[in-house]
């Protein structure tokens, strides 16, 4: 992949704060974080446990609303947007994968991949099905499309989760410790896959505490105690 000297910013967070209150105790998870993500860029976020990585990823991906600050996407501030606007962006442009993949156990690998297309009991179109198979092929699982998650290894299950993120042609893929539950060889395979899928159309923002994996990214952002350092 060719290195770009200039890159268009696709997502820009500035001055983001977030405090959690639990049992009367306040924990300031984000203390004013700013971060930009370029189009097609692979950014990794590293830092110790408790430094605020997951909170930042949740705020960037609109799963959590920040207390203060801006999240600019498509020249709109997602921190101020309505629920309907946020849902539209999240549905159309964002994909999220977690440490534990959240596949539905009674659906096949292909059906899990096609979940973003499914609306109630309406069957997906032949075109969508073809696209689902294409995405499974991209993650190296074309021959296992008919398997249930329980018949797949942990790494394969995580690759199905990646295929599911790819199927909707998202602009940004957010991943929180995607290799956290995998052994190192399997984790490395998943990482290479993530590093390979980013490109002009897709940015990847990944949280990890594995420094070797972080180095596969275009840029490493380090967090300490609620701040980017
Ligand atoms: N839902 C929550 N309720 C209360 N405190 C939370 C919640 N989520 C995170 N925190 C606190 O915010 C801080 C940052 O957590 P987190 O973003 O999960 O860190 P990391 O992902 O780097 O381990 C920690 O002190 C954590 O205990
Ligand atoms: Mg975390």
Range with the poorest average pLDDT among 19-23, 60-64, 115-119: 115-119
Any residues with CB less than 8 A from the CB of 85 and at least 6 apart, and which?
A: 76, 78
Closest to 156 in 3D by CA, of 165, 170, 145: 145
> Which ligand is in closest contact with the Cα of 58?
1
Residues with CB under 5 A from ligand 2 (ion): 54
**Distance from the alpha carbon of residue 55 to the mean position of ligand 2, in angstroms:** 7
Q: How far apart are the first and last CA of the chain?
A: 28
Average pLDDT, the chain: 91
Q: Which of 24, 55, 214 to mutate to test the pocket of ligand 1 (most atoms within 8 A of CB)?
A: 55
**Distance from the alpha carbon of residue 190 to the mean position of ligand 1, in angstroms:** 25
pLDDT at 52 over 60: yes
Class of domain 9-211+217-228: alpha beta
User: How do residues 58-68 score in pLDDT, each as one tens digit?
Assistant: 999 999 999 99
Overall average pLDDT of the 136-147 stretch: 95
Pairwise CA distance, residues 53 & 30, whole Å: 9
Closest atom, ligand 1, to C-alpha of 51: 22
The predicted pLDDT at position 6 comes to: 54
pLDDT at 101 over 80: no
Place of tokens 């073809």: 130
**Distance from the alpha carbon of residue 168 to the mean position of ligand 2, in angstroms:** 25
| Phi, psi values for residue 154, rounded to 5° | -55, -45
The predicted pLDDT at position 84 comes to: 95
User: How do residues 163-209 score in pLDDT, each as one tens digit?
Assistant: 998 898 899 999 999 888 888 888 888 888 888 888 768 999 999 98
Q: Which of 35, 47, 52, 177 to mutate to test the pocket of ligand 1 (most atoms within 8 A of CB)?
A: 52
What's the chain look like in SS3?
A: CCCCCCCCEEEEEEEEEEEEEECCEEEEEEEEEEEEEECCCEEEEECCCCCCHHHHHHHHCCCCCCCEEEEEECCEECCCCCHHHHHHHHHHHEEEECCCCCCCCCCCHHHHHCHHHCECCECCCHHHHHHHHHHHHHCCCHHHCCCCHHHCCHHHHHHHHHHHHHHCCCCEEEEECCCCCCCHHHHHHHHHHHHHHCCCCCEEEEECCCHHHHCCCCEEEEEECCEEC
Nearest Cα residue to atom 6 of ligand 1? 20
Strand order of the β-sheet with 25-38 is 25-38, 9-22, 68-73, 76-77
**Distance from the alpha carbon of residue 49 to the mean position of ligand 2, in angstroms:** 6
Pairwise CA distance, residues 22 & 44, whole Å: 29
Nearest Cα residue to atom 25 of ligand 1? 50
Pairwise CA distance, residues 43 & 23, whole Å: 34
**Distance from the alpha carbon of residue 98 to the mean position of ligand 2, in angstroms:** 10
Closest to 193 in 3D by CA, of 42, 54, 51, 87: 42
Ligand 1 pocket residues where CB is under 6 Å: 20, 22, 27, 29, 47, 49-55
User: How do residues 197-223 score in pLDDT, each as one tens digit?
Assistant: 887 689 999 999 888 899 999 999 999
Q: Please, which residues bridge with residue 31 across strands?
A: 17
pTM reported for the whole predicted model = 0.91
Nearest Cα residue to atom 7 of ligand 1? 20
């Amino acid at each position: 992949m060719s290195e770009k000297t200039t890159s268009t910013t696709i997502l820009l967070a500035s001055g983001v704060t977030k405090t959690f209150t639990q049992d009367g105790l306040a924990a300031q998870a984000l203390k004013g974080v700013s971060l930009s993500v370029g189009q097609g860029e692979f950014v990794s976020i590293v830092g110790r446990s408790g430094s605020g990585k997951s909170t930042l990823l949740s705020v960037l991906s609109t799963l959590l609303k920040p207390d203060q600050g801006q999240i600019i996407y498509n020249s709109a501030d997602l921190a101020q947007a309505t629920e309907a606007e946020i849902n539209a962006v999240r549905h159309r442009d964002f994909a999220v994968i977690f440490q534990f993949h959240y596949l539905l156990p009674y659906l096949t690998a292909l059906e899990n991949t096609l979940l973003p297309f499914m609306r109630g009991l309406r069957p997906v179109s032949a075109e969508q099905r073809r696209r689902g198979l294409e995405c499974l092929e991209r993650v190296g699982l074309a021959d296992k499309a008919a398997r249930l998650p329980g018949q797949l290894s942990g790494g394969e299950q995580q690759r199905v989760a990646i295929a599911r993120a790819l199927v909707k042609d998202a602009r940004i893929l957010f991943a929180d410790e995607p290799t956290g539950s995998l052994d190192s060889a399997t984790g490395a395979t998943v990482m290479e896959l993530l590093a390979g899928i980013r490109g002009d159309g897709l940015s990847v923002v990944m949280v990890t505490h594995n420094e070797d994996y972080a180095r596969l990214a275009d840029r490493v952002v380090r967090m300490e105690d609620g701040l980017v350092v």
